[in-house]
């Protein structure tokens, strides 16, 4: 008989759904250690707008992969996979269960399936692409991507410059589309599944939490963004804005909420417009997260509005023998 793989728990869901609260409840009753799966929580000095757990919470329940990058740095899904696997191995070696919590679905996908090897970033090419976008607009670059990689163009919105530039960069540097790279990776994953080549070496329980009523999530998003502003989000972004090495082209500053406040500080938006657009951007993020999760396999859903999600989760984990 094959040896049983060690357990791991994924706790996914849209922003503002209550993932962190449930994760802390689980950590109080199970031998779990937490790993953040959030592309914004990785950044230092970005606390309020990312809804980062406060210092007291992080002291009681340490989260791996929080505050690991300066906002000027970029952090890829491939880097996350490497760091998360290392953290999971350390936690398992301690006899504990890795509990991965967050809403960056690309990170989960990278962890489960691996990533195609893509060419490294080319700063000169990126600068050229950005200059062309300034001259002709992002739609022109999106049209170019659609001509060479229609599958990626269908996934990437013209107003998503970071992903748009990356897809074009991959094509120009390698001569192959991003779709071709991913198809090759999928073939290699299928071939490696029988040998364990890329398969995640864990028995994974996949949970997702969200309000059953979408309107409830929209209300929570609006309330949370208002609370962030009351807690000093503008002052937090202002400190970043004063740094000469930070700009709107960086992934950190393009994070939901930060980009809108940055535009406000640049004088491009009024305070009212900034708040409205921050809420809209957060709702759009939640919609994209739902889109990812609708196609996810083997997910056990929880309703944020339920008062007994801890007991429901424990019952489910026992049912699938994740705690055996």
Please spell the DSSP secondary structure of 98-110, one letter per residue: EEEE-S-HHHHHH
Give the mean pLDDT of 50-79.
96
CA dist 38 and 72 (Å) reads 17
The reply to whether CATH 1.10.20.140 applies to domain 123-183 is yes
Q: Is the model's pLDDT at 1 over the cut of 50?
A: no
CA dist 203 and 6 (Å) reads 6
Are the C-beta atoms of residues 98 and 92 closer than 8 Å to each other? yes
Q: What superfamily does domain 7-114+198-319 belong to in CATH?
A: P-loop containing nucleotide triphosphate hydrolases (3.40.50.300)
Strand order, beta sheet including 299-303: 63-64, 32-36, 97-101, 7-12, 203-210, 299-303
Q: Is the model's pLDDT at 251 over the cut of 60?
A: yes
pLDDT at 140 (0 to 100): 93
CA dist 284 and 271 (Å) reads 20
Are the C-beta atoms of residues 319 and 311 closer than 8 Å to each other? no
CA dist 103 and 255 (Å) reads 13
Q: Any idea where the domains of the chain sit in the sequence?
A: 7-114+198-319, 123-183
Most confident of the ranges 22-31, 117-126, 179-188: 22-31
Q: Is the model's pLDDT at 198 over the cut of 60?
A: no
CA dist 317 and 324 (Å) reads 9
Q: For residue range 214-249, what is the model confidence (pLDDT) as tens digits?
A: 999 999 999 999 999 999 999 999 999 999 999 988
Q: For residue range 66-125, what is the model confidence (pLDDT) as tens digits?
A: 999 999 998 989 899 999 999 999 999 999 999 999 999 999 999 998 877 777 778 888
Is residue 8 classed as helix, strand or coil in its secondary structure?
A: strand
Q: Is the model's pLDDT at 155 over the cut of 90?
A: no
Which is more confidently placed, 218 or 133? 218
């Amino acid at each position: 008989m094959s040896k049983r793989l060690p357990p791991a728990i994924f706790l996914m869901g849209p922003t503002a759904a209550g993932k962190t609260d449930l994760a802390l409840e689980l950590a109080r009753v199970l031998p779990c250690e937490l790993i953040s799966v959030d592309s914004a929580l990785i950044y230092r000095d970005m606390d309020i707008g990312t809804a980062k757990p406060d210092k007291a919470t992080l002291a009681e329940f340490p989260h791996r992969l929080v505050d690991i990058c300066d906002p000027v740095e970029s952090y890829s899904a491939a880097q996350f996979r490497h760091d998360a696997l290392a953290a999971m191995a350390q936690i398992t070696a301690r006899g504990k269960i890795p509990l991965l919590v967050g809403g960056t679905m690309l990170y989960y996908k990278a962890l489960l399936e691996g990533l195609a090897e893509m060419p490294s970033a080319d700063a000169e090419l990126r600068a050229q692409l950005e200059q062309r976008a300034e001259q002709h607009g992002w739609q022109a670059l999106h049209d170019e991507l659609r001509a060479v990689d229609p599958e990626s163009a269908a996934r990437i919105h013209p107003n998503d410059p970071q992903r748009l530039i990356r897809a074009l960069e991959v094509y120009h540097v390698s001569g192959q589309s991003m779709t071709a790279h991913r198809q090759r990776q999928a073939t290699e994953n299928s071939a490696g599944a029988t040998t364990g080549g890329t398969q995640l070496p864990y028995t994974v329980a996949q949970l997702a939490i969200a309000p059953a009523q979408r309107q409830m999530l929209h209300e929570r998003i609006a309330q949370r963004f208002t609370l962030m502003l009351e807690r000093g989000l503008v002052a937090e972004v202002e400190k970043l804005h004063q740094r000469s090495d930070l700009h709107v082209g960086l992934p950190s500053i393009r994070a939901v909420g930060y980009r809108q406040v940055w535009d406000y500080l640049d004088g491009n938006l009024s305070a009212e417009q900034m708040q409205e657009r921050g809420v809209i951007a957060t709702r759009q993020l939640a919609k994209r997260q739902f889109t990812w999760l609708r196609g996810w396999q083997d997910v056990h859903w929880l309703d944020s509005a339920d008062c007994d999600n801890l007991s429901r989760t424990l019952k489910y984990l026992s049912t699938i023998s994740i705690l055996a």
